[in-house]
Chains A and B, each alone.
Chain A
Amino acid sequence: MILVRLLPAGVVGLILFFLAFPIVVVTVVSFSTASYLTFPPPAFGLRWYEAYFGSADWLKPTWVSLWVAAAVVVLATTLGTLAALGITRLPRPLRVFATGLILSPLIVPGIVVAIGIYYAYSRYGLVGTPIAMVLAHTCLAVPFVVTSVTASLAGLDPRLEQAALSLGATPGATFWQVTLPLIRPGVLVGALFAFITSFDELIVALFISGTGAVTLPRRMWDDLRFQIDPTIAAVSTLTIVLTAVLMGCAHFLRKRSQA
Chain B
Amino acid sequence: MSEIVQPAPIAVPMGAARIMSFDWRRAVPFLLTAPLLVYMLVFYALPVLAMLLRSLNDPTWSFAHYAALFEDVVFAKTFWTTFNTSVTVTAGCLLLGYPVALGLVRAKTLAPLILIVILLPFWTSVLVRSYAWMVLLGRHGLINEALLALGMIDRPLRILNTSLATQIAMIHILLPYMILPIANALRQIDPSLIRAASGLGASPFMTFRQVILPLSMSGVAAGTLLTFVLALGFYITPAMVGGPRDITLSMLIADQVEHLNWGYAATLSAVLLATALVLIAAARRLPGVGNAFRMSMK
Contact = CB atoms under 8 A, between A and B. Distances in A.
Interface of A: 8-9, 11-12, 15-16, 18-23, 25-26, 29, 36-39, 79-80, 82-83, 85-90, 98, 101-113, 115-121, 135-136, 138-139, 142-143, 146-148, 151, 158, 161-162, 171, 196, 200, 202-203, 206-207, 217, 220-221, 224, 228, 232-233, 236, 239-240, 243-244, 247, 251
Nearest to A85: B32
A138 B127 contact: no
A221 B127 contact: yes
Contacts of A244: 120, 123-124
B194 interface: no
Contacts of A136: 43-44
* Chain A at the B interface: SS class: helix
B50 interface: yes
Contacts of B99: 8, 11-12, 15
A232 B44 contact: no
B140 A116 contact: no
Nearest to B275: A109
Contacts of A120: 46-47, 50-51
Contact of B298 (A29, A110, A151): A151
Contacts, number: 237
B29 A86 contact: yes
A86 B134 contact: no
Contacts of A207: 257
Given A25-B136, A111-B233, A116-B50, A236 B43 contact: no
Interface string B123-136: 11111110111111
Given A109-B272, A115-B51, A116-B47, 12 more contacts: A18-B172, A23-B120, A25-B136, A109-B273, A110-B233, A115-B269, A116-B44, A116-B52, A138-B39, A158-B2, A202-B125, A220-B127
Nearest to A111: B250
In order of increasing CB-CB distance, the 3 nearest A-B pairs are: A109-B233, A86-B32, A116-B48
Given A11-B99, A26-B135, A109-B250, A36 B140 contact: yes
B85 to A, nearest CB: 14
Interface of B: 1-2, 4, 28-33, 35-37, 39-41, 43-52, 54, 96, 99-100, 102-103, 114, 117-121, 123-129, 131-136, 138, 140-142, 145, 172, 175-176, 229, 232-233, 235-236, 240, 250, 253-254, 257, 262, 265, 269, 272-273, 276-277, 280, 297-298
A140 to B, nearest CB: 8
B128 A87 contact: no
Given A29-B135, A162-B1, A101 B37 contact: yes
* Chain B at the A interface: SS class: helix
A122 B97 CA distance: 42
A9 B176 CA distance: 18
Contact of B35 (A79, A89, A107): A79
A134 to B, nearest CB: 10
B145 A38 contact: yes
A23 B47 contact: no
A44 to B, nearest CB: 16
A171 B32 CA distance: 13
Contacts of B141: 37, 39
Which of B102, B114, B120, B127 lies at the interface centre, i.e. has the most chain A CB atoms within 10 A of its CB?
B127
A89 B40 contact: no
A158 B253 CA distance: 48
Contacts of A139: 39-40, 43-44
Nearest to B52: A116
Contacts of A15: 96, 99-100, 175
19 contacts: A18-B96, A19-B172, A20-B120, A22-B132, A82-B35, A83-B36, A83-B37, A89-B28, A103-B297, A109-B272, A110-B233, A115-B51, A116-B49, A116-B269, A118-B257, A158-B1, A240-B120, A240-B124, A243-B123
